[in-house]
Amino acid sequence: MKKTSYPKQDIKVLLLEGVSQTAVESFRAAGYSQIEFHEKSLPEPELIRAIGDAHIVGIRSRTYLTAEVLEQARRLMTIGCFCIGTNQVDLEAAQARGIPVFNAPYSNTRSVAELVIAEAILLMRRIPEKNMECHRGGWSKSASGSYEVRGKTLGLIGYGHIGTQVGVLAEGLGMRVIYHDIETKLALGNAGPAASLGELLERSDIVSLHVPETPSTKWMIGAPELKKMKRGSLLINASRGTVVDIEALAEALRSKHLGGAAIDVFPVEPKGNADPFVSPLIGMDNVILTPHVGGSTLEAQENIGIEVAAKLVRYSDNGSTLSAVNFPEVSLPEHPSSRRLLHIHRNVPGMLSRINEVFSSGEVNIDAQYLQTTGQVGYVVIDVNANETQAQAFKDGLAAIPGTLRTRLLY
């Protein structure tokens, strides 16, 4: 087994929320044996207990790693979100503690896009109501209110990885696609940008949301926006629950201003499958309710398990932070003949010269040095041709520099 400064068998990996077994297998294959696996998210007191001695933690969307929780995670080296969204982690608090956070930005995007397309067709055909009626022993064979999606306008709010795929699939069905994004985006196929959010809402037969949870998207669809939507049009939200004012949506559905909705995400979601689900949308036959499963397919979860575990292992073994969402990114080569020192520090002037002073005795050769900074944090990696004692002395020297957040030594 490759030797690390901290023996791999002593590195505790805490995996929550039933992340795929492919993640467990990836850690085992990389030599990590201390893996604590939980099928569910943990209530905060239990989370704090479990994370207290963990070096690596893997979560999905239900575990909130707040500044207070991170404060208790004294040994935590890195965090993996086995999903796209990272809003459940206090990214600034993690950065300030020198903890890179990784996610899987692509692996479940196709799964969400497929669900959205399926829901668009079902809602256009009024299938949710017809389904409920049949369940109640009713039979209303009628074409009234049922339409093909062909020729209808789909308005996508957020034209990123998921929005673009929904657009491409929708065009394959003959839909017209318009989108609204805060960034300038390359339009795929025949899609085109709407002049504004308001224009998109006014023109679309179906509006589908694909934005992240940020201050700019919080409650972005409220009563005034719903009012702008066409009478009888449909709303799909598989992004984040805080994007839509759910009470305003319920009212728009009750008043029949909207014809239907498909909602996968909610402002408050149950913590686990045993907890009750409460929503003003319950009981509305023209609403498809799903328990935040947009990305929950076996294909997506297996791929996410492999992708995020690989990023966590690479950081732990090699120091690479490529694609970290809150941290300076460095992609590092292997270092077979040198020892590698990692120094994470507050990004203040003069830090690099203080780091270099530690090696100024001229006793050893520096084989390579890498530096990257983002806003508050700097990350320097130094490969040195030193023996174990020298390397340990360098690590101690680096740790003593004021402004140091964390140091590690990799063999």
Ligand X SMILES: O=C(O)CCC(=O)C(=O)O
Q: Applying CB under 6 A, which residues contact ligand NAI?
A: 84-85, 108-109, 112, 157-163, 180-183, 210-214, 216-217, 238-240, 264-265, 292, 294-295
Q: Write the interaction track for ligand X spanning residues 329-348; mark x where CB under 6 A is met and - where it is not.
A: --------------------
Please say if 240 is a catalytic residue. yes
User: What gap in Å lies between CA 355 and CA 407, rounded to an integer?
Assistant: 12
With CB atoms as reference, the residue minimizing the distance to ligand NAI is 160
Asked about 74 being catalytic, the answer comes back as no
Residues in contact with 141: Cβ distance below 8 Å, sequence separation at least 6, in sequence order:
none
List C-alpha distances in Å: 167 to 21, 136, 292, 299: 32, 35, 21, 21
Calpha distance 2→31 (Å, rounded):
9
Taking the least distance from each CB to ligand NAI, the nearer of 157 and 313 is 157
- How far apart are the C-alpha atoms of 112 and 331, rounded to whole Å? 30
Min dist. Cβ of residue 205 to ligand X (A):
26
**Binding-site partner at residue 109 among ligand NAI, ligand X, none, CB < 5 to 8 Å by type:** ligand NAI
Active site residue 247: no
Q: Name the active-site residue from 240, 340, 343, 354.
A: 240
**DSSP for 109-166, written as a single string:** HHHHHHHHHHHHHHHHTTHHHHHHHHHTT------TT---STT-EEEEE--SHHHHHH
- Report CA torsion sign: 137, 138, 139, 144: negative
Question: What is the closest distance, in whole angstroms, from the C-beta atom of residue 15 to ligand X in the complex?
Answer: 13
Show the binding pattern over residues 21-60: x = contacts ligand X (CB under 6 A), - = does not.
---------------------------------------x
Residue whose tokens read 């690099």: 352
Give which of ligand NAI, ligand X, none residue 107 binds (C-beta under 5 to 8 Å, depending on kind): none
Taking the complex as a whole, how short is the minimal distance between the CB of residue 307 and ligand NAI, in angstroms? 13
Site string for ligand X, 345-384 (x = CB under 6 A): ----------------------------------------
Could you give the CA distance from residue 153 to residue 205 in angstroms, rounded to a whole number? 5
Q: Provide the β-strand partners of residue 155.
A: 178, 207
Residue closer to ligand X (CB basis): 61 or 338 = 61
Taking CB within 5 to 8 Å according to partner kind, which of ligand X, ligand NAI, none is near residue 60?
Answer: ligand X
Angle in degrees, CA 97, 102, 107, rounded to 5: 165
Query: Is there binding between residue 303 and ligand X (CB under 6 A)?
Result: no
Interaction partner, residue 367 (ligand NAI, ligand X, none; CB < 5-8 Å by kind): none
Please identify which of the residues 199, 213, 269, 329 carries the catalytic annotation. Answer: 269
341: β partners: 382, 409
Smallest gap from residue 182 Cβ to ligand NAI (A): 4
| Count of residues that interact with ligand X, criterion CB under 6 A | 8
Q: Quick one: 89 or 238, whose CB is closer to ligand NAI?
A: 238
> Which is nearer to ligand NAI, 38 or 161 (by Cβ)?
161
Closest C-alpha to 394, from 385, 328, 346, 55 = 385
Task: Determine which one of 60, 97, 176, 292 is catalytic.
Answer: 292
C-beta of residue 126 within 8 angstroms of C-beta of residue 365: no
Q: Residue 84 Cβ, how far from ligand X at the closest point, in Å?
A: 4
CA distance 257 to 306: 44
Residue recorded with tokens 């520099």: 401
Site map (CB under 6 A) of ligand X, residues 55-94, x = contact: -----xx---------------------xxx---------
Instruction: Name the DSSP class of 213.
Output: -
Distance in angstroms (rounded) separating the CA atoms of residues 311 and 302? 15
* Per-residue binder mask for ligand X (CB under 6 A), 248-267, x = binder: --------------------
CB of 61 to ligand X, least distance (A): 4
What is the CB-side half-sphere exposure of residue 362 using CA atoms within 13 A? 0
Q: Which is nearer to ligand X, 89 or 410 (CB)?
A: 89
Least distance (Å) from ligand X to the CB of residue 263? 13
Residue 145 CA to residue 124 CA, distance in Å, equals 8
Q: Are 235 and 249 in contact (CB under 8 A)?
A: yes
Binding site for ligand X (CB under 6 A): 60-61, 83-85, 108, 295-296
Residue positions annotated with a catalytic role = 240, 269, 292
